[in-house]
Amino acid sequence: MLLMAQLSCSTVLHAATGQEALDYQAQDQDIDLVLLDYNLGADHGLDILQKLKKCDPALPVAMVSGRDEPQVILSALGSGASGFVPKSLAPEDIVFAIQQVIEGGIYVPSSLLDTNPRTTPVEDTQSIQKQLQHLADIARRVIREKNLDICDQADVESEMTSTLNRLVRELQEDRDYLELLAFQDDLTGVANRRLFDERLDQALRNSRRNCTFISLIYLDLDHFKRINDTLGHPAGDALLKKVAQRLVTSVREVDTVARLGGDEFTVILVDVDSIDGLEGHLTRLRNTIKQVITLENGKQCTPSVSIGAALSDGDETAESLMKRADNALYQVKEHGRDHFRIAPINQ
């Protein structure tokens, strides 16, 4: 297998065994891409894939194989691969596949996808990416819920084939239903903590690689417990849903809104141009949330929010960035709430 390191992928590491690949990963924490063979002789590619992803969930891994059956592709996606590259691909298609994976997308052979000739090239690309993300989410959900041991290839294909084929048919027949299978918060529909962790790791990696800035924003609704106690939990749930909707409409599609639990929300902003620009965005975000909300029982409330944000160039861990944003939020709460504070880089 091949491991590409450094920002320009100018260094290529070749691992003859799975253990050698794991050793390379332990030595170099800034690997940009792994090309992993599905069959590794004594080692099974899926087994090595799981170990690589356990050490670094955001590590882009493309599985390479001479086989392209749907159950093989979906078992790779379900184990955490971001792409499946058949060995029969033309060189230019292999380059395209690798670029997709490095940039945070998912690649599988086009033969597995439906395309709509009525869409424009841009719309078609977006549709394909959504289909691919659905495929990956479905496959990971099957493995997670069935608790399958995927160390043995024969067991994978015998136990997963019928389930995965059924799920592929569901993908083709009911896109709306499959939206519910993504990593979403059950109440609000935004990203949950698991998806948030993956998106934050990926955002930090892309920020470091592309020399751009990102911002992590923590938001807590002020005195939310009082709303639950006075108006009831249904009213509180309705408020959380409305706030989530306002957050989603206030950011771009490339950004991420997540609910971590209770009244705790977080936003990951990518490609932030400056602290001034971030301050303007937080001001608009705060004002949007503070607009009057009419709840299901007809009662109205005007929520306020405390916001802590941290700016990063990607040269830190997710834990460090989260701590800085959380500290900024704490300082806002200590000084009366209903405001925001930004922790600059290296604070």
174: tokens are 């009911």
SS3 287: helix
Residue bearing the bigger pLDDT, 77 or 35: 35
DSSP code of residue 80: T
Residues 300-311: tens digit of each pLDDT? 889 999 999 999
Identify the pLDDT of residue 241.
93
User: What pairing do the DSSP bridges indicate for beta strands 214-221 and 305-312?
Assistant: antiparallel
**Confidence class for position 92, pLDDT limits 50, 70, 90:** confident
Model confidence pLDDT, tens digit, residues 189-239: 898 888 899 899 999 999 998 899 999 999 999 998 888 888 888 888 889
Q: What is the reported pLDDT for 152?
A: 46
Listed as own residue / partner, the contacts of 220-228 with beta carbons closer than 8 Å and 24 or more positions apart are: 220/263, 220/264, 220/265, 220/305, 220/306, 220/329, 220/333, 221/263, 221/303, 221/304, 221/305, 222/303, 222/304, 222/305, 222/306, 222/337, 222/338, 223/337, 224/262, 224/263, 227/301, 227/303
220: phi then psi, degrees, rounded to nearest 5: -120, 135
Q: Which of 8-22, 139-153, 170-184 has the highest mean pLDDT?
A: 8-22
pLDDT recorded at residue 310: 95
Q: Which residues contact 117 (CB under 8 A, 6 or more apart)?
A: none
Q: Residue 121 has what pLDDT?
A: 44
Which residue's structure tokens are 């059950």? 186
Mean pLDDT of the chain: 78
* 284 compared with 14, residue with greater pLDDT: 284
Domain architecture of the chain: domains with CATH:
2-179 (3.40.50.2300), 193-343 (3.30.70.270)
pLDDT of residue 117: 42
- The answer to whether residue 315 scores a pLDDT higher than 50 is yes
Is 102 in a helix, a strand, or coil?
A: helix
pLDDT in tens, 108-155: 766 555 444 444 444 445 555 666 666 666 666 655 655 444 444 444
Please give the pLDDT value at position 148.
45
Residues annotated as part of the active site: 263
Q: What per-residue confidence (pLDDT) applies to 265?
A: 96
pLDDT more than 70, % of the chain: 73
Region of poorest pLDDT, from 28-37, 97-106, 178-187 = 178-187
Task: Kindly write down the DSSP assignment for every residue of 174-229, as one continuous string.
Answer: -HHHHHTTSSB-TTT-SB-HHHHHHHHHHHHHHHHHHT--EEEEEEEETTHHHHHH
